[in-house]
A and B are shown apart, each in its own frame.
Chain A
Amino acid sequence: MSDNLDLQDKREMDAEAKEAAANAAEYEHGWSADIDTEFAEKGLTEDTVRFISAKKGEPEWMLDWRLKAFRLWEQMEEPDWAKVGYPKIDYQDAYYYAAPTKKVELDSLDDLDPEIKAVYDKLGIPLGEQEVLAGVKGAKKVAVDAVFDSVSVATTFREELRKAGVIFLSISEAIKEYPELVKKWLGKVVPQRDNYFATLNCAVFSDGTFVYVPEGVRCPMELSTYFRINAENTGQFERTLIIAEKGSYVSYLEGCTAPMRDENQLHAAVVELVAMEDAEIKYSTVQNWYPGNSEGVGGIYNFVTKRGLCQGDRSKISWTQVETGSAVTWKYPSCVLNGENSVGEFYSVAVTNNFQQADTGTKMIHNGKGSRSTIISKGISAGKSNNTYRGLVRVGVSADNVRNFTQCDSLLLGDECGAHTVPYIEVKNPGAQIEHEATTSKISEEQLFYAMQRGLDEEEAVALIVNGFAKDVLKELPMEFAVEAQKLLAISLEGSVG
């Protein structure tokens, strides 16, 4: 068979898979592939931690680090200050490790287990990446480090990145291949004892991504990872570490979807970013974990700790997130602005529908002189959901001339949902300029009728108005992600009007 025919077949297969995914009833990604999974035994003890570490063939220092975290975690209490409610989690009734049994090193995604490949297709990997994967000439390059059930099974473009000096590996590989780099930074941005969920992650993290961009290098492509929970009753504990050396730049895209399940699934990821002098990291997330059904049954519990360290002068870290999934979201991507004139940004759209609960926001910790931060948060609530923005702006004593601008807008659909804004402002330096603006609005009947009179049906009209509301955030996303995110907003709000 010629290459052309292969390409043709692949495209048809992609189209079929995409159509099938699009046709799935309530939840677009509500399916699960049948792949043999190797579990760690249920429950969480020191043995579980040792099992995970052994399974991954980790060095002694890593096991010790995990065990230290586990012992800390045993002494800690689950936090309850967020405006979310959920049944008590029995941490002894979950699995902490699952991996596909076939572990193979692949040169490209074409060599992937067809069933896993089909999963990726259903995920609707963006067109740009599909083209790259299909070898279409001139396609914009996006590297995909695909995380499937906790273990990276395929990494593309690694070679090209290596030529540029960029290290882009699963964190398991990085622990073995670059132990000094990992040791130097792991747990430095989010300390082991930071919070209950982060500490849990330290003990049992399954896999994740490691990126190192050396001095003066502009990463030649957008880096993208797809996470997916696939095994019933298995927590997902991703760990990401990105280091940008002096004067470097990297843009990282993270997208998540999860299959439909009745059990609530625990997800506690940790992301650590480090930006040195004049370095810039742009971290974009589209989060679409299974939110539970329209009755509020099932769905992912998403307890995430994301933090960036602007260590160097004039360094910059931007978080952009589109949060549409999960039954419970507890997530505050933050920036510690140590460098002089460093910049932190947080752009967020959080959508909640049905019985979803989101408590999300950011922390901007200003330690460096002249550091600046911008926070734009757009919360959209529908159904019986609750959507809370919780944000901290802290200015240290010696941080002169700090500026912060915060804007929190809430949009309500219907009258059974809630929107809450909880800003914390702690300023210890009198020279700081802090601005906070907040609005709450409802989609008006006039707006809906106006759009419908021009030809849009009710759901299209809602999608249009919501996308307009979220535009200031969506425009921060890389192009291919922005298009997906717009569709995702529309899908998430289906059935929320009328």
Chain B
Amino acid sequence: MLRIENLRAETAGKEILKGLSLEINAGEVHAIMGPNGAGKSTLAHVLGGKPGYEVTAGSVEFRGEDLFELEPHERAAAGLFLGFQYPVEIPGVSNLQFLREALNAQRKVRGEEALSGGEFLKLAKEKASLLRMDMEMLKRQVNVGFSGGEKKRAEMVQMGILSPAFAVLDETDSGLDIDALRVVGEGINAIMRGPDKGVLLITHYQRLLDVVKPDKVSVLADGRIVETGGPELAVRLENEGYDAVMAEAAA
């Protein structure tokens, strides 16, 4: 579904990704863990197409297409969703308006009919209740005045409504308390578990993986994938720390 080969990318003249390769198949949840500064967020940004990053080598194939041929909004329409570590405020625009416009923009690119106001509202209600978020919150302005946890839950509602084929979730668990973490984890399971879906889950902590249960876990360090294994790898990282696991991998 997503095939990254020998990806090199830099920002502000500094190389961050140094030949990263990774393949995620349909039906898989693949967790990426790694120390600070390893390039996890850069990977998410490069996949999303954020300005300010330069890809200097390598390729990314997404659902059979060259990802780098697509503009950010075209990547979204092709089914790529990026869950932000720091969701952005858009004053004066309600979540509902934002999501309806975004969804209909995606549908237009895909040659599908726009959803009417009523159809959209029904969809939004359904997804909000799945994430245990009330509709009043969706009427509020995008991320304005939201707590950290609310922002992350709002990201998940966005994901539910946009229903992407593939999600790159950048530290969606940061800033969440245990209860919110469970809600978000269950949301990921409900929305993104399926034979045609895939998830690249960037996280620091084992606790989200207790809920989401990844099929594979990789360690990203210094711009490369240094180790890939099953869910047990995450447990080892939690218990032994990155240094020990990486030293073992290098040995």
- Seen from chain A, the residues whose Cβ lies within 8 Å of a Cβ on chain B are 444-447, 449-458, 460-461, 464-465, 467-472
Residue from B76, B98, B103 within 8 A of A452 (CB atoms): B76
* Contact A457 B141, beta carbon cutoff 8 Å: no
The interface residues of chain A lying within 8 Å CB-to-CB of B73 are 452-453, 455-458, 460-461
B55 at the interface (CB under 8 A from A): no
A50–B25 Cα distance when bound, in Å, is 84
* Contact A455 B98, beta carbon cutoff 8 Å: no
A450–B90 Cα distance when bound, in Å, is 9
A451–B103 Cα distance when bound, in Å, is 11
Chain B 62-103 near chain A by CB (<8 Å), digits 1 or 0: 000000000111011100011010011111110001110111
Q: Interface on chain A toward B: helix, strand, loop, or mixed SS?
A: helix
The interface residues of chain B lying within 8 Å CB-to-CB of A451 are 90, 98, 102
* Contact B71 A468, beta carbon cutoff 8 Å: no
* Contact B103 A468, beta carbon cutoff 8 Å: no
CB contact under 8 A between A455 and B77, given known A449-B48, A449-B51, A467-B93: yes
B218 at the interface (CB under 8 A from A): no
Most buried by A among B76, B81, B84, B103: B76
Closest to A378 in B: B92
* Contact B52 A454, beta carbon cutoff 8 Å: no
CB contact under 8 A between A454 and B90, given known A449-B51, A449-B72, A468-B141: no
The interface residues of chain A lying within 8 Å CB-to-CB of B93 are 464-465, 467-468, 471
A34–B51 Cα distance when bound, in Å, is 48
- Seen from chain B, the residues whose Cβ lies within 8 Å of a Cβ on chain A are 48-52, 71-73, 75-77, 81-82, 84, 87-93, 97-99, 101-103, 105-106, 109, 141, 158, 162
* Contact B88 A455, beta carbon cutoff 8 Å: no
* Contact A464 B103, beta carbon cutoff 8 Å: no
Residue from A454, A458, A470 within 8 A of B162 (CB atoms): A454
A67–B141 Cα distance when bound, in Å, is 56
Closest to A409 in B: B91
CB contact under 8 A between A460 and B101, given known A454-B158, A455-B106, A471-B92: yes
* Contact B109 A455, beta carbon cutoff 8 Å: yes
A332–B106 Cα distance when bound, in Å, is 42
Closest chain A CB from B163 CB (angstroms) = 12
* Contact B101 A465, beta carbon cutoff 8 Å: no
The interface residues of chain B lying within 8 Å CB-to-CB of A465 are 90, 93
A456–B104 Cα distance when bound, in Å, is 9
* Contact A445 B76, beta carbon cutoff 8 Å: no
A472–B91 Cα distance when bound, in Å, is 11
| A-B pairs, 7 with minimum CB distance | A468-B92, A468-B93, A454-B102, A471-B92, A455-B106, A450-B88, A452-B72
The interface residues of chain B lying within 8 Å CB-to-CB of A460 are 73, 101, 105
A465–B88 Cα distance when bound, in Å, is 12
Closest chain B CB from A487 CB (angstroms) = 13
* Contact A447 B90, beta carbon cutoff 8 Å: yes
Closest to A449 in B: B50
Closest chain B CB from A377 CB (angstroms) = 15
Most buried by B among A445, A455, A456, A468: A455
22 contacts between A and B (CB under 8 A): A444-B88, A447-B88, A447-B89, A449-B49, A450-B88, A453-B48, A453-B49, A454-B98, A454-B102, A455-B77, A455-B102, A455-B106, A456-B102, A457-B71, A460-B73, A460-B101, A464-B90, A464-B93, A468-B91, A469-B92, A470-B92, A471-B92
* Contact A455 B105, beta carbon cutoff 8 Å: yes
The interface residues of chain A lying within 8 Å CB-to-CB of B88 are 444, 446-447, 449-450
Most buried by A among B77, B84, B90: B90
A460–B72 Cα distance when bound, in Å, is 13
The interface residues of chain A lying within 8 Å CB-to-CB of B77 are 455
A433–B93 Cα distance when bound, in Å, is 31
The interface residues of chain A lying within 8 Å CB-to-CB of B75 are 453
Closest to A457 in B: B73
* Contact A450 B84, beta carbon cutoff 8 Å: yes
Residue from A447, A456, A470 within 8 A of B105 (CB atoms): A456
The interface residues of chain B lying within 8 Å CB-to-CB of A449 are 48-51, 72, 88
A458–B77 Cα distance when bound, in Å, is 14
Closest chain A CB from B50 CB (angstroms) = 5
A454–B72 Cα distance when bound, in Å, is 8
The interface residues of chain B lying within 8 Å CB-to-CB of A457 are 71, 73, 105
The interface residues of chain B lying within 8 Å CB-to-CB of A450 are 84, 87-88, 90
Closest to B52 in A: A445
The interface residues of chain B lying within 8 Å CB-to-CB of A444 are 88
A465–B50 Cα distance when bound, in Å, is 18
Q: A455-B77, A460-B101, A469-B91 are in contact. List 7 more A-B contacts (CB 8 A).
A: A447-B88, A449-B49, A449-B88, A451-B98, A453-B82, A454-B99, A455-B102
A453–B141 Cα distance when bound, in Å, is 18
* Contact B92 A453, beta carbon cutoff 8 Å: no
The interface residues of chain B lying within 8 Å CB-to-CB of A458 are 73
The interface residues of chain A lying within 8 Å CB-to-CB of B82 are 453
CB contact under 8 A between A464 and B48, given known A447-B88, A450-B90: no
The interface residues of chain B lying within 8 Å CB-to-CB of A471 are 92-93
A467–B142 Cα distance when bound, in Å, is 13
A444–B87 Cα distance when bound, in Å, is 13
A450–B141 Cα distance when bound, in Å, is 14
Most buried by A among B76, B77, B92: B92
CB contact under 8 A between A464 and B72, given known A453-B82, A470-B92, A472-B92: no
Closest chain A CB from B152 CB (angstroms) = 14
A467–B90 Cα distance when bound, in Å, is 10
CB contact under 8 A between A467 and B71, given known A455-B76, A455-B105, A460-B105: no
